[in-house]
Each structure stands twice: as C-alpha cells, then as structure tokens.
Amino acid sequence: MQLDPVTIQILWNRLITIVDEAATGLMRTAYTPSVKEYHDFCCALFDANARMLSHSTVTTAGFLGIVPEVLRNFIAKHPPETLRPGDAIITNDPWIASGHLIDISIAAPIFHRDRIVGYTLCIVHHLDMGGRMSTLESKDMYEEGLKIPILKLFDEGRLNETVFDFMRANIRVPDKVLGDVRAQLVANNVCSRGLKALLEEYRLDGLETLGAEVIHRTESSLRRKIAALPDGSYRNVAVLPKIPGCDDDVVVKIEVRVDGDGVTVDYSGSSGEVGAAINCSYNMTRSYTAYPVKLALDPHVPNNDGGLRPITVIAPEGTVVNSRPPAATWGRTMISHLFPEIVFATMENIMPESVLASNGGSPANEVYLHGRHRDGRSFLAIAQHSGGFGASARHDGYPCLCFPNNTRNIPIEVTENEARMYYVRKELRTDSGGPGRNRGGVGQEVEFAILDGGTELARDVESSVRLSGRTEDGTFPVFGRLGGRNGRGSGLWHNGDPVDHGVYRRLAPGDRMRFVLSGGGGYGDPFERDPERVLADVEQGYVSIERAEEDYGVVIDAAGMTVDTEATRLLRTGRTGRAGRAEPAQ
Amino acid sequence: MTTSYRLGIDIGGTFSDFAVVDDADGTIRVEKTLTSAHAPEESVMRGIGNLAGAVPDLLARTGEVIHATTLVTNVILERKGAKTGLIATEGFRDILELAREVRYDIYDMFIRLPEPMVPRRRRIGVPERVLADGSVLVPLDETTVRRAAAVFRDEDVAAVAVSFLHSYRNGAHERRAAEILREELPGVTVSLSHEVHPEPKEYERTSTTVIDAYVKAVAEGYLERLAEGLAKRGYRERLFIMLSNGGTATVETAKRVPVQIVESGPAAGVEAAAYFGRLLGLDNLLSFDMGGTTAKLCIIENGRAARTRTYEVDRVHRFKAGSGLPAAVPVYDLLEIGAGGGSIARVDDLGLIQVGPDSAGSAPGPACYDLGGTAPTVTDADLVLGYLNPDYFLGGRMRLDRGAAERAVAGHLAVETGLTTLEAAAGVHEIVNENMASAAQVYVAEKGKAPPELSMVAFGGAGPVHAAGLARKLGCPRLVIPPHSGVMSSLGLLAAPVAFERSRAVRRILKAVDLESVESGFREIESEAGELMPDGVAPIVRRSVDLRYSGQDYPLEIEAAGPCDAPSTKLDWETRFEAAYHGLYGKVDDDNPVELASIRVHVSQPPPALEIARPAAESDAPPKASREIHVSAGSGMERVAVYERTALRIGQEIVGPAVIEERESTTVIGPGDRLKVDPLGCLVVDLVIQRPTAAAGGADETPVSATFGRK
C-alpha cells in the first residue's frame, strides 16, 4: 500500500498525539510527585516489528533511546505468537530496561482484527523500590532493592497478583508506588485505544507502511545532517568527579568517528565497573550518546527508531559505560548525564554553532527525604533543583534550567505538604554563571530544615542530597566552550559543615542542609561581551560589580549604574592573557 | 422610560461588535466598528453612537450592558501594564524567574522563555514564614515591608504583587502586608496571592498574582472610564463584564481580580454556541470558531463549557504548552490551534506539506487578496478548491484573485511534492482539518467525551467552510451553523445568563465525610453566589462534587443534584465517578479510597429569552448558481449547486454536495450530507460519517483492577 505525503504527515502527527494522550492519562491518574510534578517518564508507541514510531512530548531525554531496546527485550522473552489480548509485560531489570531498579517498564501488545499491530510502552521512575534507596554507596544491585524480572503482569486480562504481593512486601510506600504502576496501565490503555481508532478511521490493517515511512524520513534527515560534517575521528578523555566513598577514578574515553552519513561513538578504554552505584547499562549509554547528536544536528524532525540508526555506540562490556549484573546502578546518571556535554566537547570544533557549554546542574540533583509524620504515617519525598543552563553561540544560558534529562522541579509547597521539612531558601546565586561572550545561566542556592514531629517515632529524617560533584578546582568543572569560562559553585553543607553528597544522613529536628548548584559554562571570550549587557547583568544581580571588572573587564560606576567606558577600554586592552581559555573535557 | 433593551459589546483586537436586543419584541440590531487600540472605550462610544442613530434613547432604554474585551490580553502581549513590584517570602523572591526549571521542548537547546514580568531588582523578600499546615514559623517583619515600599516608591512602581509561601492556607501575612503597602503607597494597586489563586504550587500562584497586579491599574482605569462614559450618555443600570469562564461579574468584581477577564471575548463566543445548543435541544456541543489566524474549540456539556486552571499567557510559541506564563484562573478550556484562513502552507525539509501555525494575517494576507502576499494559505486553497466564491467574499465587497491563489499553490507546493495544483490545494485543506482534528481528539479525550456524542456549532469567517470536513474527521454527526456568525460573540453576551460559580475545598475521604456538613457547605456557597445575583429573580442552582482517588490531583466533576441527605447519596456519587473514570481510562482504582476534593455550585439566572429575526421566505429557494468544487479526496472537480443563505425557507432541505453562501461566510457540505434550515435560521447538517465499528477499548486493555485488592 502506498501513502501520499499528505496522509503521511497527518498520520505521523496522529502517532504523536496518541502517545501524548497516553501521557496525559498517566499524569492525571498518578499518585506521586515523581510523575505528577517531576515528569520522569516516557510513553512510546511501536509497530508490530517493535520499531518505535513516536514518544510522548513530555518525557525525560534518557528514555528516548532506551524504549526501543526495552521492547525488543520483552519480545525476545515473550515472542509475538505467544502474546494474547490483555497481556502486559513488566520489568525493572536495569540491563533489560532503563538502567536502574527504580524505573518500571510496562508494555502491552495492541491487537487489531485479531493480530498484533503494535505495542505500547510506559516507563516511570518510581518513588521507591525498597533496598537502600537512593544512595551512591551501594556496592551491588542486591542492596538497591527489589528486582522484577521480565514477567507477565497481566495474562489475557488476569492480573498476576504475585507480582503485586512481592512489590507490596518490599516497598516503603506501596500504595503510592502501585498507584503509579496502575497509572502506567492507564497510559497503555489510552495508547492502545488511540491506535485502534486511527487504524479504523483510515482503514489500515497495520502500521508497516506508515512505520517504514516515518522511520525512513527521520533517519534520512539526520543522515543528511551528519553527511554535512567533515569526516574524521575526534577524541577526548574525561576524568569524572570523585564519587564519595569510592576510591576508583572514573575515566570516560571517547572517540567520535564521523564517516559519511553515520557516526560511531566508541567508549573503548573507559574505566571498568566501580563499586559505587553509578554504573551505566549499555542502553543508558547509547541513549544519552544518541540524544546530543539529534539535538545538535536535527532537532525539529520528530524522533523515532530512525533517529537512532545513524549512530553506533561501542562500549566494551564490563566498563562503567556498559556494566554487567550485579553492578550497582542507582546513580547511573552521575555518568550518563555527562555524555551529551562530552560529545559536545569532542565535536565543538566541527559544529561550534550547535553545542552548549556545560550545564551547572548536570548530573541532575536529587533530594530524598524519608521519615514519619506525627501520626506515624511514612513519607518519602523526592525533589530536584537545577543548575544554570550552558551558554551557546546564540544566547546566554537561562538561570536554572534542566539539562539533559529535562525533569521539572517539584514545588516547594508540594514537598512541604508531603514531608516533615521546610525550605529556608531557594534563590539565584550571583556570579555563579560562567563568564563568556554569552554568559552561562546563574545557578542557585537551596537550604532546607527538618521539622519536629513531636514523637520519638517522628523525630529523625533520613535524607540524601545528590549533586553533580563538579567543583571549580576538580578534574571535571562545569566547562565553558570556545573561550567561555567555567561555571562556579557546588557543594553541600550539613549545619554549616561541608559533607559528602549522594549518601544517606540522619537529620534531627532543626538540622539544616544547604546546597549550591553551579551556574552554567560561558561561551566565547568574556572580554568580547558588550559592556551594556554586563551592566544589565549587574542590575539584575546576576553579576557583581567586582566580577564585572575581573571577569569581563567592564568597569561600572556604582553610584550612577553606568559603564565607565574609558576605564573599560583601558582594562580590556591592557590586560595580557585576557580571560583564560576553558579547557575542553580532557 | 422602560428599559427593555439589552446591549452586548465585544471589543476585539481588530473589530468591535455590538448587538442590541429589544426584549419586548425580540428584534436585534448589530453593529461593527474598528477598535481603537489606544483607547478601547472610544470604540464603545462610537459604536453606541452609530447604533443610537437607529435606536433612539438607546442607553436610557437599556436595562443591562454586558461587555467582553481583549484589553487584558493585549496589555500582557504588548507589555503595556503597570510597573510592578513583587514581595515574596525572604529567600524565595526568585521563584518567579526559576519557574519550573524545565525546557518545554526536549529537542530544542535554544528555546526562549518569556521575560518575567518583574525584574529581579523589583522582587523583594521579607522575613515571614507560614508552614504547610498554616502555622506561623516566622512572624511578618513589618519594617522590611515598609522598606520594600520605599524601594518601590523610588522606582515609581504602580502595582505590587504579594505572594508568600502557603498563603492559600493562611493569608494573614499577605493581608497585613497589603495594609502596610496601602499606607505607604497610596494609589498603588495591590494583588494578594491568596485572593487571586488560593491553591498550592508557589510558582503558578505567584505568576498569576503578578499578572493580576500588572494588568490591574490599566483594567481599573479602562473600566472606570467605560462606566463613566456610559453614565454620561444616560445609562443608569448595571454594567456586567464577562469573565474568562463565561460567568458575568459586576464592574467592581472585575476590577478586584482583573486577570479573570483575560479570555473574556472567546468566552462570549462559547456562550453564543451554548445558546444555540440550548435552543436546539442539543446537550453536548463542540463549538468551533475559525478565523484568520487561529481556530478555537470548546466542549459544552449540558449547556456548560469545560473549564481549566492551567492557562498560560504570553507564550513564546503560541501552541507549545509551557512556553508561556501561567495564569491559574478559571478559564473556559478552549483549545486554540494555529489554523485559520491565513495559515501559511509550505513544503518542509522532508518533502511534506505543513500548514501553519504562522499566518499571513490581513497584511500581506493570502495570495488571493492581492495585497502583496505570495505564500499559499488556507484561504487560497479553499478558493482553488471552489469552496469560496471570488465575487462574493464579504458579500462582494472584496474580490478574490483565483489565478493568484493557483499560482501560489502551484509554485510553492505542487512542484516540490509532485502533486497537481488541485491535489496540493486539497492537501492543504485536508492537513489544516487534520491539524485541528488531531489536536481536538486529544482535547475531547481529556474531557472524557467521545466525538460521536458531540454536535458541532461552527462560526467565524472560515469555520463553516471547514466545519463539515472537521466534524466528519472527528466523528461528530451533526453540524450547526447559526445565523449572524460574524457577530457571534456580542450575541453570546446577550444570550449568556448572569451566572456565578463558587466552590469550596473539602479534601476528605468520601466515606468519612459527614453529609450534613456537606449540605450546609453547599447552602453557604449557594447563598454567597446568590447574593451576587440581580434582585427579584429566582436563580437556577446546580450542584456538583469534585471526586478523585485519594492521592491523585485531577478530580472528575460529578453532578450532585438535590439535597445530599439520603443514605445512598455517597454511593451514588461514587458509582457515577467510577463509571466516568472507567470510561476515560479503561479501569478503576479500587485499591484507593475516593476523596471528595471539593463541592461546587453554579448559580445562574434563567437564560434570557433571546429571539432572533427569522428567515421570511415562503417557498424553497432554488440554487442561485452552480460551480465546480472539489468534493472528495481522489476525485477531480464536480459541479454542485450554490444557494444563497438568506433566501432559504425555514424547513428547506438540501442534500450535499452543495455550497451555501452568505455575506460573512460560506458553508460547504459533502455528498449525502443533509442540511435543513431550522426555525431559528440555523443550518443544521446531518453528516454522512463512516465511523469505526469497534468501540474504543477492547479485550487487550488491562482491565478493572478488582483483583488489585489490598491483602
């Protein structure tokens, strides 16, 4: 069957609409801020050959390259000919699915006229999966919680209650987590209905022709953009920030080979698995490696399997970028969230207009709080705050904008209603953005305190605050690009004392945790920044008068809030060495 | 002098529409004038002046003026509001700028965000802190509030927003800060977050409050000048303003929280659609208003339009959620799509035709306007397809150039796609319909409705041209094209009953709720709402309850007619809630208890008996002409009958394909569609629809979670 360009466009939009509807169903029926506010999920639609055709507009970036692999793994275990209407398959296996136990994937076949025409899949980052919870300290997967192998959660419409019984018995807040699991089933139901209505309306028997068309268009569009890059091999080495409690150095070696209309990213030579909960599964590595290529080269064509095909990712087994069971994986984003900027750093000279300086908040911050309320009920709250966005050839970075994962912050008032704590401050931090012709976005400072529950049971709160670990004097600061300077600030303090991030700490009533999230890296030489833009930054409180002079060579008369043009000229021309160039990630 | 007239005034961005009805005999007069952007009240006076020529003593004989305006929207879009300051809890002044820290487009590294309405130097934190339970941790530091006032004075701030954490639970600090600000800064307007939007989520509440402060002074000034102007011309009665949710408020209420009138004009259009739905006895409607730049759709269920509280203003990308500033006010839940007559079609990198969202507008306009536009637009495609009559656009006041339209479609679309000009034009028409249909599909599903339950009411310049195609795609079986579609919104103002809504949060497990206290809660909010009604009219009261599974955010609204005293009341609510939930999501969550989120009453006057002049023809009008139009996909041009709408007789029937022309618009119906002129002059079309036989849902859904029972 042939499809004309008009029909393809119409049906392609509809494929996206269908998964967006599924995501709406998920958000509206979910129980935890992890889904409702944080938006850490992905809904995706596949054809009968398990090729991803569309994903929800609201999603986190890390899932984009993962979902196709998850479905293929499901089908390998449960071949299509064994599937029946009403079946649903579940797992949270890090190596089969999305890289850590806390994410649950659920997929279902979509039957139309008695045959499978597609699949629907929904991945959600849950609030809890038992175990030691969200800490970098776990040494292996067994410490990290309950593992659900690939199982049929539903068999021809009958619930496999054993799965839920086991989960209920192992999870701290089972009603909420199982509530979110049910919301995933809603998402799959909505997606399935949407596809069937589409097939009926257009009198299609299946998605084969349409699937091939949209995948081909996405793939060939990206290939054309890759082909425009100069062929060559580009190398880089990143020594990642030290992980608290882990002696091993984590080194990511990367070689990007641009060859015609394809890209190979080879991580050979990277460090072996480590005894900290940061090991990546291959799926995760591949996903966050393919994402920046699409982002930089062909952002406006809707993504699907075709957006992954031109990119080959090589990662030797047994390394931190392709770990094996039972490595610990909870904080795998400590590494995987850095792949986009490592790819950008490696390719900045061949596509300088298409890269971002480092984001001050990558890897993503995560805050966990667990304890009991005055009345004895357990609570488990999650929060996230972002650092400053990296500057680019086009723009300054915005203050505090999430990258690369793209999850929302959880409102202060939601968390305070959920957990026995209150925030003391959450505000922008002056001078934290990396200086540059375009300035990195400013970062923020956050502080919270524990409230007294009034009973012995409701006294202490367990809390872990995970940060990027990137400091200005470390091996892996928040890099500026093409002459831009590094972003500044990062740290965690417990009652004023600096402490390790990413580990659990027992907090007593009145205890305070304060943390700083770095600003983004700058782009281009800061001495080339228009002095009037520096003045505007000073007026906004993004940059101090002192730093305006030191970092940008712009002298500002504090009384009149004007640029001292002559003093600025002298300073800018007179200073030798100018602003030190940023080191690329090596 | 008797006051039997009622006057509806809708000030739009380009035109101001007026409709006056004499309730004594049902006659209607309409008027249209250009809007004076700098002083909209002048357009009002001009329009009234024009009308007064035909209606002596107009204002002295008018008992009610109902007004809708785009003023607030324009103030926001053009950033012409008051210089605004923000007072926030110390340590949290940047919440306004931090927003949700998320990118609204995951693939675009270079996204732009709207500028915060208050720059950082005018955001001041003051020591105070209320906790989640409403208790005070830190008392308000009044000295700092006074110092902030001094800063604002130096900066010539004209409006102040106050937004403290958890003020939705305890607003005392905000109220005290307002007292101090009024002492220190007489003449400066103050907006308090717990009054503007008393709900959790600090960013959304702060943003809404800041927008309110920003528009308040301008809205106050305008509404005062408007009231004075009307009084000076002899108007003695009350002036009502249409709110964004179709409610009508007195001028005083509108001035208190002006952010609530941000979508007042489109709300009036929805009211007009609802009015015709009522007259025709149609319970479930989809209003469809397609103009030059956008199409707006809205579901109206049992006479009530869907509402939302996740509205945004000033979007950087008009059609990308998250790219604007949240204004969490009750707004009709309109779906706005970048699809209008002026929407531009092009071929993208992938060789596919894309239509919109950018529009050629009125300048340079579609190619066929011959005003300089060369890009093919939806109007050009409609002309090529024969739907529009080049000699009868706006009743012949404007000639369309068919050759220019064909050249635009051929040159920009046909060559690159390898399609014929006709195929490319049909593609544009089809794609714009599909763009609307696919967006509408999500929207309809979100509201828990299915298109086969809905009748479409179409208006706006381009609405009736596209309505049959869109309705067919969606699966809406019936289409209604009302008369006077060019001034539908001002007509809507006259048709809308005076109405108010009040709600009260309950947030308790339904099983544990004491029905007596629910009943007394209902009575209290009913009397609050009733006090706002005009005297002497027995209001219609409609009760509902917002139910959800405990722990979820989104409730479903369930009708709760009659006193809630029967033992079966709760079971009845719960049963209907679960049925609605199951219909939406294919399952229920009986693991979790049902929560009564809030109670809600809608109090209204009986709908006014608005009568409109009816068609007078005595016998069936024959076609006035015939012309070739593109009837269906894959076919060429076919010759069909063309009718003049004003000549049609009540009860006349036309079987499609056919074209019905009138001054402001053109209705196109397809093969087998049956059109009938109803007694009100509406064109009512029963569409030929090939609907999927299988109902939504099916055996492969993971079913009801009855087996999820707690162990």
SS (H, E, C) B360-415: CCCCCCCHHHCCCCCCCEHHHHHHHCCCCCCCCEHHHCECCCHHHHHHHHHHHHHH
At B232, the pLDDT band (50, 70, 90 cuts) reads very high
What is the band of A362 on the pLDDT scale with cuts at 50, 70, 90?
very high
Mean per-residue pLDDT for B432-450?
Answer: 80
> Which residues in chain B are closer than 8 Å to A412, comparing Cβ atoms?
92, 95, 165, 202
The type of residue at A396 is D
CA atoms of B409 and B345, how far apart (whole Å): 9
Q: Quick check: B699 and A182 CB within 8 A?
A: no
DSSP state of B133: T
- pLDDT at position A24 is 92
**Chain A residue with minimal CA distance to B693?**
A200
Give the residue on B whose Cα is nearest the Cα of A87.
B700
The pLDDT value given to residue A585? 41
- Pick from A223, A289, A288: nearest CA to A259: A223
**pLDDT tens digits along B373-392:** 999 999 999 999 999 999 98
Q: What is the spatial distance between Cα B170 and Cα B194, in angstroms, rounded to a whole number?
A: 8
Range with the poorest average pLDDT among A378-392, B126-140, B541-555, B578-592: B578-592
Residues of A in contact with B434 (CB under 8 A): 9-10, 13-14
Instruction: Please tell me the distance in Å from B404's CA to the nearest CA on chain A.
Output: 23
Name all domains of chain B by residue range, CATH numbers in brackets: 5-76+221-261 (3.30.420.40), 82-215 (no CATH), 499-604 (3.30.1490)
Residue A308 has pLDDT above 60, yes or no: yes
Read off the tokens for B330.
Answer: 């009750």
Partner-chain contact A9 B95, CB within 8 Å: no
Q: Is B698 on the interface with A (CB under 8 A)?
A: yes
For the cut 70, the answer to whether the pLDDT of residue B147 exceeds it is yes
Cβ–Cβ of A6/B431 closer than 8 Å?
yes
Q: What are the chain A neighbours of B592 within 8 Å (beta carbons)?
A: 31, 175, 179
pLDDT for the residue B535 = 66
SS (H, E, C) A142-187: HHCCCCCCCEEEEECCEECHHHHHHHHHHCCCHHHHHHHHHHHHHH
pLDDT tens per residue across span B93-133? 999 999 999 999 999 999 999 989 999 999 999 999 999 99
Per-residue pLDDT at A459 exceeds 80? yes
Q: How far apart are CA A474 and CA A467, in angstroms?
A: 14
Residues on chain A touching B435 (C-beta within 8 angstroms): 13
B589 Cβ under 8 Å from any chain A Cβ: yes
Name the residue ranges covered by the structural domains of chain A: 5-217, 359-586
Q: Quote the pLDDT of residue B636.
A: 82
- Please answer yes or no on whether B165 and A192 come within 8 Å at the CB atom: no
Residue that has been written with the tokens 């309809």 in this structure? B444
Q: Which residue has the higher pLDDT, B146 or B452?
A: B146
CB within 8 A of B588, min separation 6: which ones?
B578, B581, B582, B704, B705
Suggest the residue from B168, B205, B350 to mutate for an interface test with chain A (most A CBs closer than 10 A): B350
pLDDT of residue B701: 54
Q: Could you tell me the pLDDT band of residue B694, with boundaries at 50, 70 and 90?
A: very low
Q: Which of A7-11, A303-307, B479-483 has the highest mean pLDDT?
A: A303-307
The ipTM (two decimal places) reads 0.95
Distance from CA of B464 to the nearest CA of A (A): 22
Distance CA A257, CA A354 (A): 18
Q: What is the pLDDT of residue B290?
A: 87
What is the reported pLDDT for B529? 78
Residue B14's pLDDT band, with cuts at 50, 70 and 90, is low
pLDDT for the residue numbered B249: 83
Tell me the average pLDDT of chain B: 87
* pLDDT value of residue B288: 95
Q: Give contacts of A119 with chain B, Cβ < 8 Å.
A: none
Distance CA(B257)–CA(B655), nearest Å, equals: 50
Residue A150 phi, psi (nearest 5): -65, 120
Q: What is the pLDDT of residues B328-361, one digit of tens each?
A: 888 998 888 878 888 999 998 778 899 987 778 6
Query: Which residue in B103, B353, B442 is closest to A406 by CB distance?
Result: B103
Check if B552 contacts A (Cβ < 8 Å).
Answer: yes
CB contact under 8 A, A411 and B201: yes
| H or E element, residue A424 | strand A421-428
